[in-house]
Amino acid sequence: MAEQAATNGAAAPVDFRTHPDQYKHWKLSIDGPVATLALDVREDGGLRPGYELKLNSYDLGVDIELHDAVQRLRFEHPEVRSVVLASAKERVFCAGANIRMLNQSSHGWKVNFCKFTNETRNGIEEASAESRQTYIAAVNGACAGGGYELALAADYIMMADDGSTAVSLPEVPLLAVLPGTGGLTRLVDKRLVRRDRADFFCTLEEGIKGKRAVDWRLVDEVVPRTRMQDAVRERALALAEKSDRPGDAQGIKLPQLARRIEDASIRYSHVEARLDRTKGIAEITINGPQAPAPAGIDGIDAGFWPLALARELDDLVLHLRCNEDTIGMWVFRSQGDADAVAAYDALLEQHAADWRIREIRLFLKRVLKRIDVSSRSIFTLIEPGSCFTGTLLELVLAADRSYMLDGQFDGDNRPPATIRLTGLNFGAYPMVNGLSRLASRSLDAPERAEALRQQIGIDLDAAAADAAGLVTFTPDDIDWEDEVRIAIEERAAFSPDALTGMEASLRFGGPETMESKIFARLTAWQNWIFQRPNAVGEQGALKLYGTGQRAAYDRRRV
C-alpha cells in the first residue's frame, strides 16, 4: 500500500483509519452490556508538534479515535447497550479543545476540526436514539468547553457532587469565540435550558456545579463522589434494559481499510478518486457491486457491499476534506449493474429490523450527511454504464447540479443512461433538516415527492428523469462535453468562500432541526468569529490566553 503526502502542504496527510490497539488517548473496556470509553489523553501524543494535551484536552487525533470507537461499538459489539463516557484521570473530565493547538492552527484547520468533532458528537447522539446504545457521561472533575460539549452529546449526564466539580462553557469570556461543537445549540434545543439561564451560564468562567446544575438542566444527576462509580454502573444497567440490541449475536469486525494513495489518485475496492489539483477537481467514481447480493443476511461481514462502500466513501470524504483543501469540486460518477445495486437495496429494505442492517443503513445515512455538509461543490454526471439506483441515486439528489446524458455517445454501443428509484429513497437517508433528499427537492409541493413512489423500480431515461425533477440538465452527445466542461470551469472560477456560503444556504431548505442549526448557524458564525481580531488578533483573547495579559477588544458591534 502506497501512502504519500498530499502535494498541497508539507505535513503528512492525516489518516482517519485507526484501531483500538493503536489508540493513544482512549481506553475501551466492556463488561457485559456496558462499555466504558475512558478518556486518558497522552500529553505528548498530539497530532502535530508544538503543544501538550494537558488536562485531558483534545485535538483532532483524540476525536479520530473517538469516532473509530463509536463505530466499532455499534458494529462489533451488539451486546453493548450502554456506553459510559468517563475520564481515567483524577479530578478532571475534559478541559476541551487544546488552546495551544488552536493558536497554532490555520483557520481552515480549526473549522474542519470543529466540523468533524460535531459529526462525531452527532454520531454519539444517533447511537443513543437509533442504535439503542445509550451514552452516559460520568463527569468526575473539571468539565469545560469542549469537555462539556462531549458530555452534552450523551443522553444522560451524571456529575460528582464534591464541591468542586463543575460544568462550564467559558469560550465567550475567556477566548472571545463560541463553543465550537454545538454547545449553545444543545443547551437550548436538546437540554431545553431556559434562555436567560443559558445566557448567564455561557458568560461564567467558573461554571456551575451541584444542585443548581441539575435544577438548570445542565446535568441530569449529581452523585456523591464516593458513590459515583456504583451509581454510574447502576444507571448504565437500567438504561441497558430498555435496548433491543441482541445480547448473543455475532458482531461485524471492521478490519483496516485497504487504500492506495498515489500522487493524483486514491483507490479503494469500490471507490476511486482522480485528483486534478491545478483545476481543483476530484473525479470520484463509485463502482457497483462486484458480486451479486446474497440470498439472505446470515454471515454478512465487512465485505458486504453497502457496508464496504460506506466505509470507503466515508474515509475518502474525510481524507479530501482534511488533506486536499484546494480541491474545491467533487464530481461523482458511477459504473456497474443497476440491477445488482437494486438487489442490495432490497435486502436493506427487507431486513430493516435486523440490528446489522439497521447499523449499515445508519452508516450510509451518516456518510451522505457528511457529503451534504462538506464545503465542496458537488456535481454528478450520469452516463451510459452508470448505476445510480436507490442508495447510489442519493448522490444525484445530494448534488448541487446533476447532468444526465440524453441518448448515447457516438460509437458507444451501451444503452442510454438510466436512473432508478427504490424504497430507500423515501426516508431511509434523511438530511440534517430531517427530510429525505427527494422531499427537499419538492418543498413547494410535498405531494410531488410522495407521488414518485409510483416510479419505484422503473428505469428512467433522461427525459423521464427530467420530467420527474430528479436531474438538472440533460444534454445530448453533441452538447455533452462542452456543456459539462464549461459548467465545471465556471464553477472553479468563483470565489470558494462565496460558494461555501451559497451551497450551505441552498442545500438545507425546509424545517430546522438541532443538527441543521449546528451546521448552518454554527458553521457560519464560528467561521466568522474565528477570523475576527478580537479572537485571533495580536491582542485577541485566543492569542493571549495563558499569558496573563488581558485582551484588547475593538468595541464596535458588527
pTM of structure: 0.95
Distance CA 352, CA 76 (A): 18
* Residue where the block lists cell 448473543: 248
Residue 141 to residues 56, 158, 207, 219, 433: CA-CA distances in angstroms? 11, 11, 12, 13, 35
DSSP summary character for residue 56: G
How far is the C-alpha of 30 from the C-alpha of 37, rounded, in Å?
Answer: 9
Distance of CA 179 to the CA centre of its chain: 18
Residue with cell 438542566: 217
Domain at 20-240: CATH code: 3.90.226.10
Nearest alpha-carbon partner for 145 in 183, 107, 117: 183
Residue 142 sits at φ, ψ, to 5 deg, of -50, 130
- CB count within 10 Å of CB 292 equals 12
Helix (H, G, I), strand (E, B) or coil at 157: strand
Whole-angstrom Cα distance, residue 28 to residue 480? 53
From 158, 143, 162, select the one nearest 235 (Cα to Cα): 158
Mean pLDDT over all residues of the chain? 94
Do 261-506 and 20-240 fall under one CATH topology?
yes
Domain boundaries, the chain: 20-240, 261-506
- b/e 407-429 (16+ beta carbons within 10 angstroms → b): bbbeeeeeebbbbbbbbbbbebb
Structure confidence at residue 524 (pLDDT): 66
In the three-class reduction of DSSP (H, G, I as helix; E, B as strand; rest coil), residue 95 is classed as coil
Which grid cell sits at 201? 451560564
Selection from 340, 333, 258, 337 nearest residue 302 by Cα: 258
Instruction: Measure the CA–CA gap between 474 and 380, rounded to whole angstroms.
Output: 12
Q: Which three cell numbers stand for residue 173?
A: 469570556
Determine contact, residues 68/19, Cβ cutoff 8 Å. Answer: yes
Question: Model confidence over 30-65: pLDDT tens digits?
Answer: 999 999 999 999 999 999 999 999 999 999 999 999
Measured distance between the N- and C-terminal CA atoms of the chain, rounded to whole angstroms: 51
- Report whether 228 contacts 240 (CB < 8 A): no
At 5 the pLDDT is 37
User: Distance between CA 389 and CA 293 in Å, rounded?
Assistant: 14
Predicted pLDDT of residue 11: 73
- Helix 107-129, helix 355-372: angle, nearest 10: 150
Consecutive H or E run containing 107: helix 107-129
The whole-number mean pLDDT for each consecutive block of 10 residues of the chain, a chain of 558 residues, reads: 40 93 97 98 96 97 98 98 97 95 91 93 97 97 96 98 95 90 93 97 96 98 97 98 95 97 96 97 97 94 98 98 96 98 98 97 98 96 98 98 96 95 98 96 93 97 97 97 96 92 90 88 73 91 90 89
Chain centre to alpha carbon of residue 355? 21
Q: Provide CATH code, domain 261-506.
A: 3.90.226.10
